[in-house]
Amino acid sequence: MVKKKRQTTLGGRKSSSLPKVNPFELKFNRLKHDVGSGHPGLSRKRAYEQRQKSLGVEYDRRGKVNKIVDKRIGERRKGVSSEEKLKVYRFSAERLRHLKKSSKFNLTDDSEQSEVLTHGGEALTSIQKYDKIVASDDEDDAGNIEADVVKVAHFGGGELDMPSNSGCRPSRKDIIADLIAKTRQARENKHSAKDEMETVTEELDAKYLKNLENIKNSFRPVGATRVAKFDKDDYDELALSLKLDADARATPAERTKTAEELALYERLQLEKLESLRIARMRKLMNVDKVEKVSKRKILRDSDEDLSDEELQDGNEEELGDLIQEINSEVYLHCGSKSMLCLGVLDVEVPFIIEMPKTFEQFVDLLSSYPSEKFEVVLLRLIKCYHPSLAEGNKKLLAKLFLYVLRFFDGSSCESLTSDSLKLLGSLINVMYVLMKFDVEFSTRCIRALIRQYWKKRLSNLKAPISFSVVALLVAALYPVSDGWHPVCSPALTLAAMTLAKSHVINLTVLARQILLVTVISDFVEESKRLVPEAIAFCQGALLMAVENEERERAPTVVFPISLPHKQMLYVEKDANVDPLTISEESDMKRCQVLRALIAVIQKYRILYSAHEHTFTITFTPFLNLLKRIPLSRLPSTVAEEIETLIQSMEAECNVRSRLTQMSRVVTEKSHFIVIKFHAEKQKLQYLVKKETRGAIKELRKDASFLSRYSSKDRDRRQKTKRIIGELQSQQGEWNKELRESGKKRKT
């Protein structure tokens, strides 16, 4: 037998007492961030629940904003007390509502007043016994009776049981007599009122006419029999004419012609004038015998011109070779004659001119006319061969542009006179017109010409090359204000190189170089770009106008260093205004060149006045040289211009030489305040950056929550729609079975 263990209970054991805790020995750490015990899933769950309470509720309530409208009677009436609202509006409305409910099916009449019958309680038989009243012809109311009479006769005017006032009813004879008397009295009153109204109206008309005559006589001038008419001014006449002739003025008499139609019209006019000129020369005054011009003839002539050798598109190298042929062809063709002296005086220019096929024919064509009519000849050629008249005229005009450019280049090599400058200006105008027909070809031609001059310059750097006129042509044809241009930029570079390398050997070369400096100033007029070659050349040229010493040297090597060429512009004797002598180095010519140089320096002073920091150091040497020029030997005009330039340049230099701040001003600064503000700024920047990151993170979480929430909502709607559809189909099948079994009728 197993021995039974002794069971001991907890109650029987002696309970051990826990040690007493001292509250001052406990330490509690405050949590900075309430993290869910290191469980990321729990944190995400809390965030999701929080967003579900905020964003979820807003998402469910979107588009469901309600508004409580107070529809109590009289509540929205302003200026009414609450007692009046209760008594007047609400009590009356409630009483009316109960009255409508109680009297809806009530057919009894609760009114104590007796009804008034239509005829006032009178019997119709008594009224029908009246005799018929016949209206007289002289009455105006066409037999109408007064309203009270009609009321008595037709409607009785009394109640059912109304007793008589006199106690007894009047007899029928008395009623009729009274009725007739009242009717006659009413007619008499009406006639008398009408007569009185007519009398008063006539009296008023007479008074009005009398007063009107008095007013007219008082305003009429002395001796005038009637009122003078009002003369309309120009504005009234113009307004009336515009109102009457608006359609005629708005409709054009002839529509605007297109460019092709204008070119054809000009060609026909030239043909007509040429026919008349030939007829006049042949003494054929009968115009019918002259050959008439037609569009078909113009097109046939243009086709014949196209049958010749056409202009082929080549590169700039080929165009340069073509232009270079001027050295061998033009001068051989012209012989010892100058190209500017071509032409015969008093030769009539025909209106129709045949297009030259070669450059020799072009020179022959111009040689038969004076130089003043070159522009007229070329413009008539352009009108006769306008591109809109025939298909190949554009190539013919491009060929003509090349001929004019070659002729211009050859003419620029001659000595520059007033006549030659006029001729070159007319050629520039013609080339400007021709350039518009084919801009690309004209650009390639001028670039080829610049390339040719560049090769000449590289072959002989010191030779004086007449590039100034070509630079003038470039400035006239193309925009020089661009930062870079395919024609102007190479031309400006070549011009600067010409100023820096070409030696000045006489006054003619110096005058050409001054012209080139003037053209360069036109190039940089808008950009205010500094051209050191131009400034150095002007300073060196001005040095030749003073009595310099041996130690003084020009800023560039292009100027002579030996006497007498070193003082080429220096005037030793008093200059007069006598005509120029044959001698090239005359004092008058020196004055002319010096005056042109002063004008160029003045222009550059105005251009570079915007350069505040470099103006003084640039123009101080000019100021010193200008003061050394002997003004007493120069003409008064030149001396005044030099004095004006000295005054303006000296004033500019004095203004520009003032320095507003010589040294940097150092002030004591409190570094502690600066550091404090800097630290606070950095702290705020850190907080802003931190909060921005947190806000971006929260916005991303909100967006993901809304996307999940909306997807769940969308799935719920789709599931509900699918279940409803299944239930409807099931119900339809069940109804169909019931109808087939006959238990349910088809509605």
| pLDDT 10s digits, 5-31 | 555 444 455 556 778 888 888 888 877
Neighbours of 383 (CB within 10 A): 17
Instruction: Please identify which residue in the block is written with the tokens 């010096």.
Output: 594
How many Å apart are CA 93 and CA 101, to the nearest integer? Answer: 12
Look at 49-58, 248-257, 342-351 and tell me which has the smallest mean pLDDT: 342-351
For residue 536, give the nearest of 621, 426, 599 by alpha carbon: 621
Q: How is residue 429 written in tokens?
A: 């105008």
Give the HSE-up count for residue 436: Cα atoms under 13 Å, Cβ half-sphere.
Answer: 8
How many Å apart are CA 152 and CA 179, to the nearest integer? Answer: 10
- DSSP, collapsed to helix, strand or coil, labels residue 451 as helix
How many Å apart are CA 713 and CA 512, to the nearest integer? Answer: 90
How many Å apart are CA 714 and CA 722, to the nearest integer? Answer: 12
Q: Where are the beta strands (DSSP E) in 622-743?
A: none
Residue 506 and residue 512 in contact, taking contact as beta carbons nearer than 8 Å: no
What integer is the mean pLDDT of 341-360? 67
| pLDDT 10s digits, 478-519 | 887 767 788 888 888 888 888 888 888 888 888 888 888 888
Residue 343 and residue 368 in contact, taking contact as beta carbons nearer than 8 Å: yes
| pLDDT 10s digits, 180-220 | 999 989 989 999 999 999 999 999 988 888 888 877 766 55
How many Å apart are CA 367 and CA 373, to the nearest integer? Answer: 11
Give 706's pLDDT tier (boundaries 50, 70, 90).
very high
Residue 586: per-residue pLDDT: 74
Instruction: Please identify which residue in the block is written with the tokens 């007796």.
Output: 114
Residue 470 and residue 519 in contact, taking contact as beta carbons nearer than 8 Å: no
For residue 399, give the nearest of 410, 387, 411 by alpha carbon: 387
Q: Where are the beta strands (DSSP E) in 49-142?
A: none
| pLDDT 10s digits, 719-746 | 999 999 999 999 999 999 998 888 766 5
SS3 content of the chain, % helix, strand, coil (to 5): 60, 0, 40
In the predicted structure, residue 304 carries a pLDDT above the cut 50: no
Residues whose CB is less than 8 angstroms from the CB of residue 122 and which lie 6 or more positions away in sequence, other chains included: 155, 156, 157, 158
Average pLDDT over the chain reads 74
How many Å apart are CA 543 and CA 402, to the nearest integer? Answer: 41
Please state at what angle helix 532-543 crosses helix 587-607, rounded to 10 degrees.
Answer: 150
Residues whose CB is less than 8 angstroms from the CB of residue 51 and which lie 6 or more positions away in sequence, other chains included: 701, 702, 705
Which carries the bigger pLDDT value, residue 697 or residue 119? Answer: 697
In the predicted structure, residue 355 carries a pLDDT above the cut 80: yes
DSSP state letter for 744:
S
Residue 194: per-residue pLDDT: 92
Instruction: Please identify which residue in the block is written with the tokens 């079994």.
Output: 741
Residue 49: per-residue pLDDT: 92
DSSP state letter for 484:
S
333, exposed or middle or buried, with CB in 10 Å at 0-12, 13-18, 19+?
A: middle
Residue 197: per-residue pLDDT: 92
| pLDDT 10s digits, 218-248 | 655 555 555 445 555 677 777 777 766 655 5
Domain positions in the chain: 124-160+171-203, 261-306, 503-658
How many Å apart are CA 540 and CA 499, to the nearest integer? Answer: 11
Counting residues of the chain whose pLDDT is more than 90, the rounded percentage is 10
Residue 540 and residue 560 in contact, taking contact as beta carbons nearer than 8 Å: no
For residue 480, give the nearest of 472, 468, 488, 471 by alpha carbon: 488
How many Å apart are CA 277 and CA 280, to the nearest integer? Answer: 5
Please state the φ and ψ torsions of residue 108, each to the nearest 5 degrees: -80, 160
Residue 468: per-residue pLDDT: 76
| pLDDT 10s digits, 524-565 | 888 888 888 888 888 888 888 888 776 777 777 777 777 777
Instruction: Please identify which residue in the block is written with the tokens 């929550």.
Output: 705
